[in-house]
Amino acid sequence: MTGTTDERPAPRRSTRFRLTVLGCAVLPLCFAGWLGWQALAGDGPARAADTSSAVPPTSDVTFDAPTAWPTALASATPSPGGTASPATTAPGTAGHPLTGRTVLLDPGHNTGNGRHTTEINRQVDIGNSRKECDTTGTSTDSGYSEAEYTLDVSHRARALLEARGAKVVFTQDGDRAWGPCIDERARIGNDAHADAAVSVHGDGAPASGSGFHVIMPAKVTAGKADTSAIVAPSHRLGLLLRDSFKAATGEPYADYIGEQALDTRSDLGGLNLSRIPKVFIECGNMRNSGDAKRMTDPQWRQQAAQGIADALTAYLTTPAG
């Protein structure tokens, strides 16, 4: 036979081979019978425990005691499929402190206002006077508009607030051709029965000025305006917003507002007509080169949103006084 393939015929089985096979078949039966006799004698459980150590473990999770759940499963519950699923967080817990709360975010102006001058120049009643429905807002020297800025920061703040459990209402979400008018902006928050509101803006002050400031409502009781009930809570919200915004962004207080970045005004329809605690924030002066550089930076805008969300969270979760 040539080649490397082994094609030799199988060897004939001898009598000794047949006895060997028979022994291999009988011995396990005898051993099984002996184990049964040991179990009846009372030694079975102990010996079963001894043999378990020879079985490879199916998990690397160890137990300190027979009744202790491993740490990795302590916060899990079995699902219908038999696998562990994370335990759910109950509403209103630390992970969702704003559950059940409604927040109004008012992104100032609208990118379409410039194409609808007739509509936005219409006068509306703000209680103690009449003002334009809305304005075009300002922009940086490079053309980044206030309306773009306010909507972007509001979107970022909404994501943060919703992650904390809040329901967030917008006055406009880039879904309107222009406006809404300042009286409607106030009405949207009132109709939503929001717990608090922030109107987001960028200032258009002289280029020499820089920094941010917060605007709070003065007491106005004239015509359909009555801010009596919201002046005090709005002031508390304003203080929290000022401190949170500075902590989040590092932006200095406006150097052209002489009241430590706090301004109280009676000529803003969005405040005069509000029935819920509400403030404005001018996040910086878009006409100032330093402020404009920061406000056009997406990372800084995320910090601005963080400051706004943190202030609203503190306001809604911290008792007054």
pLDDT tens string 155-204: 999 999 999 999 999 999 999 999 999 999 999 999 999 999 999 999 99
In which band, very low, low, confident or very high, does the pLDDT at 92 lie, cut at 50, 70 and 90?
A: low
Please check whether residue 113 is in contact with residue 136, taking contact to mean a CB–CB distance below 8 angstroms. yes
Reported residue count of the chain is 321
Q: State how many domains the chain has.
A: 1
Query: What are the C-alpha distances in Å from 9 to residues 2, 15, 18, 42, 242?
Result: 15, 19, 19, 53, 95
Q: b vs e for 108-144, b when ≥16 Cβ sit within 10 Å of the residue's Cβ?
A: bbbbbbeebeeebeeeeebbbeebebbbbbbbbeeeb
Helix (H) or strand (E) holding 45: helix 44-52
Note the pLDDT of residue 63.
Answer: 26
The question of whether 184 is a catalytic residue gets the answer no
Within-domain flag for 204: yes
Q: Which of 72-76, 125-129, 191-195, 256-260 has the lowest mean pLDDT?
A: 72-76
**Chain centroid to CA 249:** 18
In which band, very low, low, confident or very high, does the pLDDT at 147 lie, cut at 50, 70 and 90?
A: very high
Within-domain flag for 39: no
Note the pLDDT of residue 49.
Answer: 34
Catalytic position from the list 146, 148, 184, 282: 282
Note the pLDDT of residue 258.
Answer: 84
In which band, very low, low, confident or very high, does the pLDDT at 316 lie, cut at 50, 70 and 90?
A: very high
Within-domain flag for 263: yes
- The residue written with tokens 């936005």 in the block is 120
pLDDT of 56 above 70? no
In which band, very low, low, confident or very high, does the pLDDT at 321 lie, cut at 50, 70 and 90?
A: confident
Within-domain flag for 23: no
Give the mean model confidence (pLDDT) for residues 278-291.
Answer: 98
Beta strands in 31-180 (DSSP E): 76-78, 84-86, 102-107, 123-125, 130-132, 167-170
Give the mean model confidence (pLDDT) for residues 272-290.
Answer: 98
pLDDT of 299 above 50? yes
Within-domain flag for 20: no
In which band, very low, low, confident or very high, does the pLDDT at 86 lie, cut at 50, 70 and 90?
A: very low
Within-domain flag for 148: yes
Helix (H) or strand (E) holding 213: strand 213-217
Q: How big is the CA angle at 291 (ends 145 and 251), to the nearest 5 degrees?
A: 125
Note the pLDDT of residue 93.
Answer: 60
Within-domain flag for 235: yes
Residues 6+ apart with CB under 8 A from 8: 1
pLDDT of 281 above 70? yes
Percent of the chain residues past pLDDT 90, beyond the cut: 69
pLDDT of 84 above 70? no
pLDDT of 101 above 90? yes
Q: What is the CATH number of the domain that holds 210?
A: 3.40.630.40
Please check whether residue 158 is in contact with residue 168, taking contact to mean a CB–CB distance below 8 angstroms. yes
Within-domain flag for 59: no
Note the pLDDT of residue 47.
Answer: 33
Percent of the chain residues past pLDDT 70, beyond the cut: 71
Domain span holding position 179? 102-317
Residues 6+ apart with CB under 8 A from 11: none
